Structures are given as structure tokens and as C-alpha cells.
């Protein structure tokens, strides 16, 4: 099974989803008893109805997704204090540390189109739709980051794949180092 590490903790109960949703093929969507859903995004397009899909995606894409929480917890534990999802700033950055003049943006590899990343694979169905969607997200991300820099913010971008068990420690260290250098 591929990409089984791509888990998202959902605020939901298993009853919200079809029981025993375990589908093993190239695209994988499955729900575990602990309300964690694992998926490869190309599966999403094929397995669920449109309504179900947007319901699931709204949970996953919502404000408090796994990778971002991981970073927030780590920074908080190290004594950093911050605001989250600051509406007044371009792109509503995930983590804003005014004291350090910095924003930390934690992006999912699929939705934000992380290039040369194992977690990003263009879906095989509805190719044009997905390509436009991902390209749109990429363009918007870059625009927002540019705006933030223009406004004098240091932008620290973190990708979901950099928070895997293997890379987590290094990534957090890198963030803190960047925060502390001028």
C-alpha cells in the first residue's frame, strides 16, 4: 500500500463514513477506527460522490490540519507564541510570530503541488481539472508569499513531507534556526 503515512486526523466519528471503507488499489482511501483517514488524493476523485468528497475535503483542508498542528505544538513547546490564520495578512498565514517578524506556512504536498515530492502525484482522472486547480494554488501561494515579504515578513515555508517521522526533528530545528536569525 502506498502513501500510508499520509494520514489526516479528522474531527469525526467513523459513522460519518461508509463502514469499513477499505479500498486497496492504486488510489487508497481507508478509514481507521481512530477516525484517521488515509488516502492518496487521486483516489478521492473516483470513490466518493461529489458531495461526500467536498465534505471530506473540507475537513481535511480545514484550518487545523495535521501537519500544521504538528508545527504549532512543537513551536509552542519551545516557548514560541504566535497567532494562527491571521486574516489581515495575505493568504491568511498559518502561524504568525510578530515578535520574530515571521510567518510559518505549512503546506500540504498535494494541494500546493510540491514539486518532485513523493506525496504529490497528479491524479490520473480529470487531469485538466486537477492541473488547473494545483497550478492555481501554486500561483496564489507564490503571490501571497511575495506580498508578505514586501510587507517585511520573513516567510518560512514547511512542506507536509518534511514532517514525516524521519524528517520532523530536522525540520523543526530548521524553523527555529530561521526564526532566530535576522
Binding site for Zn ion (CB under 5 A): 109, 114, 117, 119, 159, 161
Residue 35 or 117 with smaller CB distance to Zn ion: 117
Shortest distance, position 106 Cβ to Zn ion, whole Å: 11
Residue 49 DSSP code: -
Shortest distance, position 157 Cβ to Zn ion, whole Å: 11
Shortest distance, position 61 Cβ to Zn ion, whole Å: 16
Residue 31 or 163 with smaller CB distance to Zn ion: 163
CB 155, CB 148: distance < 8 Å: yes
Residue 143 or 167 with smaller CB distance to Zn ion: 167
Residue 44 or 97 with smaller CB distance to Zn ion: 44
Helices (H) and strands (E) in the chain, counts: 5, 8
Shortest distance, position 42 Cβ to Zn ion, whole Å: 16
Shortest distance, position 143 Cβ to Zn ion, whole Å: 20
Q: Looking at the DSSP assignment, which residues form a beta bridge with residue 69?
A: none
**DSSP code per residue over 71-133:** HHHHHHHTT---EES-TTSTT--SEEEGGGTEEEEEE-TTTTT-TT-TT----SSSHHHHHHH
* Per-residue burial over 35-71, b = 16 or more CB atoms within 10 Å of its CB, e = otherwise: eebbbbbbbbbbbbeeeeeeebeebbeeeebbbbbbb
Residue 47 or 112 with smaller CB distance to Zn ion: 112
Amino acid at each position: 500500500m502506498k502513501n500510508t503515512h499520509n494520514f489526516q486526523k479528522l474531527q469525526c466519528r467513523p459513522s460519518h463514513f461508509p463502514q469499513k471503507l477499505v479500498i486497496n488499489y492504486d488510489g487508497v482511501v481507508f478509514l481507521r477506527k481512530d477516525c484517521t483517514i488515509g488516502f492518496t488524493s487521486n483516489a478521492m476523485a473516483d470513490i466518493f460522490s461529489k458531495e461526500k468528497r467536498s465534505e471530506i475535503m473540507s475537513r481535511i483542508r480545514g484550518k487545523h490540519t495535521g501537519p500544521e498542528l504538528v508545527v504549532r505544538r512543537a513551536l509552542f513547546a519551545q516557548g514560541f507564541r504566535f497567532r494562527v490564520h491571521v486574516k489581515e495578512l495575505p493568504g491568511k498565514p498559518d502561524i504568525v510570530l510578530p515578535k520574530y517578524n515571521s510567518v510559518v506556512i505549512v503546506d500540504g504536498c498535494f494541494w500546493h503541488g510540491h514539486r518532485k515530492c513523493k506525496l504529490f502525484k497528479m491524479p490520473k482522472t480529470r487531469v485538466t481539472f486537477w492541473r488547473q486547480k494545483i497550478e492555481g494554488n501554486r500561483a496564489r501561494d507564490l503571490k501571497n508569499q511575495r506580498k508578505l515579504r514586501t510587507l517585511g515578513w520573513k516567510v518560512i515555508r514547511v512542506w507536509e513531507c518534511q514532517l514525516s517521522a524521519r524528517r520532523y526533528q530536522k525540520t523543526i530545528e530548521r524553523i527555529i534556526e530561521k526564526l532566530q536569525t535576522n
